[in-house]
Amino acid sequence: LLGRICFEAGRFPEAHRAFSSGHHIAPHRVRDMDIYSTLLWHMKREESLAQLAHDMISIGRTWSPEAWITVANCFSLDGDRQSALKSLRRSIQFQGGLAYAYTLSGHESTASDELDQAQQSFRTAVRVDSRHCNAWHGLGTAYLRLGKVDLAEYHFKRALSLNSQNPLLLQSAAAVFEARKDNQQALATYERIECMMQPQGILVGGLGSHHALNFVMFKRARILMILERYDEAAAVFECLLRRCPHEFNVPFLLGQTYTHLRRYREAAACLTRALDIAPENAPNVRELFD
């Protein structure tokens, strides 16, 4: 139960500790192992997810929806979406896994740009369980991809009404503000998310170089650039340059920011660094040099 609560709050490191300990104590437990497998998917723990799937199948739990959802997440992380969907269909044969399995099917279809199929899966999940916030969020994501911002906002609000403290759901709300060019609201939302993530390491543990937090910081810096708050944008990009030194867009945009601040020597150094990271982007970099 603790693992699930932490997962739904976006506190991934705490959720992982709780699930890992629980699975070690009771390896035959089935309940919530589907949630644990999704946590491992988010954290990109390929070996742990493969081991969990093996454990679920080897102890004869092929009759449970949790087992097939775990297998589906394993296939999904490996990039095999067709096998993931096939496993999710197996899960749907068992009553207990319907809503969650349909939701994950929707996410797989969204990732493959099969948005009509995705919406159908998410709607089915909502019919099965109207309080399944991930299904509401999935519908919002599909509508946002289709450019239907009002419908996206409606569904994101439904998701947030069920789980208002989840940073991932708040990121979607910020994306709606961005789509509407409401940069002040988007900035305020990203600042809120960043504050939620930083104090307790929410979401960032086990995600490489704190990927989730880096993403939010990057989005905040981009909006600061749009708002022409270049000093603040530069400070965020400088921090990001230390956190993810091999990401092209960070030195590239920092170079642009320095140019606006008339810090030309530092701008040239950043653009040279960006060119070293991604030589194929030379035309874009040279355009700024000119």
Handedness of CA 47, 14, 17, 125 (dihedral sign): negative
Which of 38, 44, 36, 1 is closest to 20 using CA atoms? 36
- Angle 211-226/249-260 helices, nearest 10 degrees? 30
Question: Does 22 fall in a domain?
Answer: no
Q: Taking a C-beta distance cutoff of 8 angstroms, is the pair 179, 173 a contact?
A: no
**What are the structure tokens assigned to 217, written together?**
């910081």
Assigned domain for 235 exists: yes
Residue 272 lies in a domain: yes
Determine the structural domain holding residue 242 and report its residue range.
Answer: 228-290
User: If the chain, 290 residues long, is cut into consecutive pieces of 10 residues, what is the mean pLDDT of each piece?
Assistant: 83 89 86 92 92 85 84 94 92 78 94 94 94 95 95 96 90 96 97 79 43 91 98 97 94 96 95 93 80
Question: Are the C-beta atoms of residues 230 and 260 closer than 8 Å to each other?
Answer: yes
Domains contained in the chain, number: 1
Q: What is the pLDDT of residue 207?
A: 38
Quote the radius of gyration of the chain (alpha carbons, Å).
21
Please provide the DSSP assignment of 209-263 as one string. Answer: TTHHHHHHHHHHHHHHHHTT-HHHHHHHHHHHHHH-TT-THHHHHHHHHHHHTT-
Q: Using CA atoms, how far apart are residues 21 and 287, in angstroms rounded to an integer?
A: 54
pLDDT of residue 202: 45
Burial of 192 (0-12, 13-18, 19+ CB in 10 A): middle
Cα end-to-end distance, the chain, whole Å: 58
Q: What pLDDT score does 46 carry? A: 92
Instruction: Write the CATH number for 289.
Output: 1.25.40.10
Residue 147 resides in a domain:
no
User: On the CB side of 263, how many CA atoms lie within 13 Å of its CA?
Assistant: 14
**Which among 191, 268, 264 is positioned nearest to 223, based on CA atoms?**
191
Q: What pTM, to 2 d.p., does this model score?
A: 0.83
Per-residue pLDDT at 13: 85
Question: Which pLDDT score is estimated for 186?
Answer: 97
Neighbours of 114 (CB within 10 A): 17
Residue 176 lies in a domain: no
Report the largest interatomic distance among the alpha carbons of the chain, rounded to a whole angstrom. Answer: 66
Residue 86 lies in a domain: no
Q: Please report the pLDDT score of residue 199 as a whole number.
A: 53
Closest CA to 194 of 148, 147, 232: 232
With residue 192 as reference, give the H or E element that holds it: helix 183-197
The answer to whether residue 146 sits within a structural domain is no
Task: Report d(CA 203, CA 12) in Å as an integer.
Answer: 5
User: Which residues lie below 8 Å from residue 196, measured CB to CB, with a gap of 6+?
Assistant: 10, 165, 167, 170, 202
Return the closest-CA partner of residue 169 out of 35, 9, 41, 43.
9
Domain-embedded: residue 261: yes
281 sits in the region (left: phi over 0; alpha: psi -120 to 50; else beta) called: alpha
CA distances in angstroms from 191 to 73, 184, 194, 197, 209, listed in the order given: 31, 11, 5, 10, 20
pLDDT of 201: 46
